[in-house]
Chains A and B, each alone.
Chain A
């Protein structure tokens, strides 16, 4: 049976961790004397205290059990929902957001690293609120639960379960024998790259505040920005290049950085997924740049490459930053970006989407299937890089893709109820599901979700959550089997 009490006790602990991270924007609010914002944060702390004390009281004497896999699914899903619910409080209490649906949408978009916003005008908001908004990006990037496992006392095998339910990709790499160490290593690498990017952006002339918030969103492959026109505001080639590189860094498998740091460069170089990931990015950037040059959208090839490389990386890694309003690009370049909507980052990265490894595996399955028709008795294994994909993995990957597309299409149908056009409905649904943040039509790089009705915002929040937790974790809760026996 489900260990409700134990799950919720752990959940309360996670809120405490979150509370610690909310200290930073609170201090900013105090420092900048943003009273409305401060009120908001205090309200959030109040809610948190109430929630935690209630849970701790109800679960004061529990017996410890090892968590089962359904506990993992339940715990992770609820963690994300409750963390979002509490973190959204400052936004609405401070008066920066019109209603709770909007602020919930915004924070869900933050934690799931989607980066879609309901704000038509960003820069006028209190700085502490914007900082918190960007910080949720950063926390969600490597995963709240992963952070929790890294910080809190050893959870043992239960920890593996929790991390497994949250981290992305069809296979879960354990870097070290102990899951706590693995989680700590992942977060350290994440922290290290974040520091590096902040320093580089600071050198590029950004203020510490801007550099930090941009870093938060880049490293999480998330896409919130404290400026109205995203990264384009800085109109600096240096910033574009730094952000492009770090978006690509965030979209690659973090396990590979661990391997690289421990000197196993060969296995990094031989990694099939990484090669395809970089290959896709390079191909799309170059093709798009050549077409943009041909159509004279920008002055010269290098200028075109700067924007196409940035935009390709932004969509591929599901970040959702913009330096150009690609809605005005020629159709071919836009179609290339649309193609990237169905790829996403690598497994074990901060990025969302279908994940490169799944796309590669699906293509190889198609190839193997065709070969099988030619040689009916042939044995064809599906290999990505050095790894052979086991049949159960293949099944889970094809199922994932099926459900992913079905969810996205169904989402578009529901969104279209709000009266949006076809392209916008389609883009809105898939940009939420893929945690991308920007799309086409009215939700393009300059658009936002402000005009959507509250009900649609809840639908979008659901899509973001489902996408971030890779479908199965959330959908498991909706099955009969989960609640029976």
Chain B
């Protein structure tokens, strides 16, 4: 998680000192360099992740303060200037960069700068964040647009994340993957849990379920367990199992919830629209959208005739009564106002809605606050976008990628191709330096197994690997 404050300030002289070094530094850059345009939340979040993966990051922004903040917080190079200025792009070293990522708040600037880079520097991959659905349509754009290699739509990414979360049943801490039915579920070990003091291996035997403990969060430190790791009170265990096993486990611990169907969406935003687009007509027919803008309501009602659209202020007590919102399975607060989202989602639980989700646009600090307010899932639009960008940058065989425990741990979903070094090997023969664990394996047929040392990786298999952040790059090389 990125934490920064608006009042962070760096003395200009420090900044200009760094500017003076640009020329010298550029020669040192290898092909691992990434140029990021826009030092906003997304830019910084992305930069932080990339720097942790030992990449060189150059950030361009036209705001003096934002550049100063970036340079102060992160081990990166800051350039003050306009992203559509070719001089600045050359100065940033776009020519030798692996990728140019435009994540400013302006779709137009992102498009134009990517267009300039892709037409000037043929070898540099270009990535643009385009917020407006008008540009990317429902299914995304063809690659051909202005030579841009990858377009990420923050709204669509958030919508996809929300949709997947709904599909998996909105557990506070379940992660799903793209190509397998395996799920990762986070258990909190209660202080008086019977499993305290047992080793990971013993716990598996006791529970008689097929699962792998992929990671343990102890205090504020994540670790990848071995069979002998002893479970301590207040640990959080990340368990990977297939969806049925998870259901069984949850039944045993009494935490099973049914998949939500009656859903109320607060705020008719672009994310709401993208989310509804993902749903089938049958799913949509049980959805209610509440917004206070009449024009927006009309537009939604026109576009999604099966959805019940209510024009009302959600903070109005009457509307909760009148529409009996308390009888819903799930409330998702998707307005443009973070505080309203948090309050609405929290209040929803008070009036009897089984689960609630809240969207965070501006302030990622709220994600922590939310867990105290009984909100089940908090979606950060910055995080989902950054995840999508990282997924792209890490290569095509990474099917999905999640960070756990404040980014200390990465959960990779790889598809194994014939050329990679681990293909055809037994798991026990792969040296992962105790930095990672293969937590799940799904064959080409779609059948998932919980891997043992004797499992063999075949071409076309999908594996789930939990790895510490610092060894993410090593793991990626190994499986890539």
Q: Is B230 an interface position by the 8 A CB rule?
A: no
Interface size (A, Cβ < 8 Å)? Answer: 9
Q: Is B302 an interface position by the 8 A CB rule?
A: yes
Tell me whether B323 and A381 are in contact (CB under 8 A).
no
CA separation between A249 and B295, bound complex, in Å? 39
Tell me whether A379 and B294 are in contact (CB under 8 A).
yes
Q: Is B10 an interface position by the 8 A CB rule?
A: no
Q: Is A153 an interface position by the 8 A CB rule?
A: no
User: Min CB distance, A147 to chain B, in Å?
Assistant: 37
User: Inside 8 A of A64's CB, which chain B residues have their CB?
Assistant: none
B301 interface neighbour in A376, A377, A379, Cβ under 8 Å: A379
User: Inside 8 A of B85's CB, which chain A residues have their CB?
Assistant: none
User: Inside 8 A of A379's CB, which chain B residues have their CB?
Assistant: 294, 297-298, 300-301, 309-311
User: Min CB distance, A380 to chain B, in Å?
Assistant: 6
Q: Is B317 an interface position by the 8 A CB rule?
A: no
User: Min CB distance, A391 to chain B, in Å?
Assistant: 10
Q: Is A177 an interface position by the 8 A CB rule?
A: no
User: Restricting to B274-301, which residues have a CB under 8 Å from any CB of A?
Assistant: 294, 297-298, 300-301
Q: Is A375 an interface position by the 8 A CB rule?
A: yes
User: Inside 8 A of B308's CB, which chain A residues have their CB?
Assistant: 375, 378
CA separation between A377 and B308, bound complex, in Å? 10
Tell me whether B298 and A375 are in contact (CB under 8 A).
no
User: Inside 8 A of A378's CB, which chain B residues have their CB?
Assistant: 308-311
Q: Is A178 an interface position by the 8 A CB rule?
A: no
CA separation between A375 and B322, bound complex, in Å? 8
Nearest-CB residue, chain A, relative to B294? A379
User: Min CB distance, B3 to chain A, in Å?
Assistant: 40
A381 interface neighbour in B301, B310, B322, Cβ under 8 Å: B301
User: Inside 8 A of A376's CB, which chain B residues have their CB?
Assistant: 322
Which of B294, B300, B302 is the most central at the interface, judged by chain A CB atoms within 10 Å of its CB?
B302
User: Restricting to A239-256, which residues have a CB under 8 Å from any CB of B?
Assistant: none
Q: Is A60 an interface position by the 8 A CB rule?
A: no
User: Restricting to A370-387, which residues have a CB under 8 Å from any CB of B?
Assistant: 375-381, 383
Q: Is B137 an interface position by the 8 A CB rule?
A: no
Q: Is B319 an interface position by the 8 A CB rule?
A: yes
Q: Is B50 an interface position by the 8 A CB rule?
A: no
CA separation between A379 and B290, bound complex, in Å? 10
User: Min CB distance, B285 to chain A, in Å?
Assistant: 13
User: Min CB distance, A171 to chain B, in Å?
Assistant: 16
Q: Is B305 an interface position by the 8 A CB rule?
A: yes
User: Restricting to B289-348, which residues have a CB under 8 Å from any CB of A?
Assistant: 294, 297-298, 300-302, 305, 308-312, 319, 322-323
Tell me whether A383 and B302 are in contact (CB under 8 A).
yes
CA separation between A388 and B309, bound complex, in Å? 15
User: Inside 8 A of A381's CB, which chain B residues have their CB?
Assistant: 298, 301-302, 305
CA separation between A376 and B294, bound complex, in Å? 14
Which of A376, A380, A381 is the most central at the interface, judged by chain B CB atoms within 10 Å of its CB?
A381
The A/B interface has a contact count, at CB < 8 Å, of: 32
User: Min CB distance, A192 to chain B, in Å?
Assistant: 36
B322 interface neighbour in A377, A383, A388, Cβ under 8 Å: A377
CA separation between A375 and B300, bound complex, in Å? 16
Tell me whether B310 and A375 are in contact (CB under 8 A).
yes
Tell me whether A383 and B305 are in contact (CB under 8 A).
yes
User: Min CB distance, B81 to chain A, in Å?
Assistant: 46
User: Inside 8 A of B294's CB, which chain A residues have their CB?
Assistant: 379
Nearest-CB residue, chain B, relative to A371? B308
CA separation between A378 and B294, bound complex, in Å? 10
Tell me whether A375 and B302 are in contact (CB under 8 A).
no
User: Min CB distance, A219 to chain B, in Å?
Assistant: 35
Tell me whether A380 and B301 are in contact (CB under 8 A).
yes
CA separation between A388 and B297, bound complex, in Å? 14
User: Inside 8 A of B302's CB, which chain A residues have their CB?
Assistant: 381, 383, 388
Tell me whether A377 and B298 are in contact (CB under 8 A).
no
CA separation between A381 and B302, bound complex, in Å? 6
User: Min CB distance, B349 to chain A, in Å?
Assistant: 23
User: Min CB distance, B262 to chain A, in Å?
Assistant: 14
CA separation between A351 and B310, bound complex, in Å? 39
CA separation between A375 and B290, bound complex, in Å? 12
Interface bits A328-349 vs B (CB < 8 Å: 1, else 0)? 0000000000000000000000
CA separation between A378 and B300, bound complex, in Å? 12
CA separation between A216 and B294, bound complex, in Å? 50
CA separation between A379 and B302, bound complex, in Å? 9
Nearest-CB residue, chain A, relative to B300? A379
Nearest-CB residue, chain B, relative to A376? B322
Nearest-CB residue, chain B, relative to A378? B310
CA separation between A376 and B324, bound complex, in Å? 13
CA separation between A381 and B306, bound complex, in Å? 10
Nearest-CB residue, chain A, relative to B316? A377
User: Min CB distance, A463 to chain B, in Å?
Assistant: 37
CA separation between A381 and B319, bound complex, in Å? 20
CA separation between A375 and B312, bound complex, in Å? 11
Tell me whether B310 and A377 are in contact (CB under 8 A).
yes
Interface bits B364-379 vs A (CB < 8 Å: 1, else 0)? 0000000000000000
User: Inside 8 A of B323's CB, which chain A residues have their CB?
Assistant: 375, 377
User: Inside 8 A of B305's CB, which chain A residues have their CB?
Assistant: 381, 383
Nearest-CB residue, chain A, relative to B312? A377
User: Restricting to B431-468, which residues have a CB under 8 Å from any CB of A?
Assistant: none
CA separation between A80 and B300, bound complex, in Å? 44
User: Inside 8 A of A377's CB, which chain B residues have their CB?
Assistant: 310-312, 319, 322-323
User: Min CB distance, B479 to chain A, in Å?
Assistant: 44
User: Min CB distance, A271 to chain B, in Å?
Assistant: 16
Interface bits A65-89 vs B (CB < 8 Å: 1, else 0)? 0000000000000000000000000
Nearest-CB residue, chain A, relative to B297? A379
User: Min CB distance, B63 to chain A, in Å?
Assistant: 40
User: Inside 8 A of B312's CB, which chain A residues have their CB?
Assistant: 377
User: Inside 8 A of B322's CB, which chain A residues have their CB?
Assistant: 375-377
CA separation between A471 and B304, bound complex, in Å? 34
CA separation between A378 and B287, bound complex, in Å? 13
User: Inside 8 A of B300's CB, which chain A residues have their CB?
Assistant: 379
Nearest-CB residue, chain A, relative to B268? A379
Interface bits A381-408 vs B (CB < 8 Å: 1, else 0)? 1010000100000000000000000000
Nearest-CB residue, chain B, relative to A383? B305
CA separation between A377 and B319, bound complex, in Å? 8
CA separation between A378 and B311, bound complex, in Å? 6
CA separation between A377 and B311, bound complex, in Å? 5
CA separation between A383 and B304, bound complex, in Å? 10
Which of A376, A378, A379, A381 is the most central at the interface, judged by chain B CB atoms within 10 Å of its CB?
A379
Nearest-CB residue, chain A, relative to B323? A375
CA separation between A378 and B304, bound complex, in Å? 13
CA separation between A376 and B310, bound complex, in Å? 8
User: Restricting to A409-436, which residues have a CB under 8 Å from any CB of B?
Assistant: none
CA separation between A365 and B297, bound complex, in Å? 18
The 6 closest A-B pairs by CB, nearest first: A379-B297, A379-B309, A381-B301, A388-B302, A377-B312, A379-B301
Give the B-binding residues of A (Cβ under 8 A).
375-381, 383, 388
Give the A-binding residues of B (Cβ under 8 A).
294, 297-298, 300-302, 305, 308-312, 319, 322-323
10 CB < 8 A contacts A-B: A375-B322, A377-B311, A377-B319, A377-B322, A378-B309, A379-B298, A379-B301, A381-B301, A381-B302, A383-B302
Given contacts A377-B311, A377-B319, A379-B309, list 12 more A-B pairs with CB under 8 A: A376-B322, A377-B310, A377-B323, A378-B308, A378-B309, A378-B310, A378-B311, A379-B301, A379-B310, A381-B301, A381-B302, A381-B305
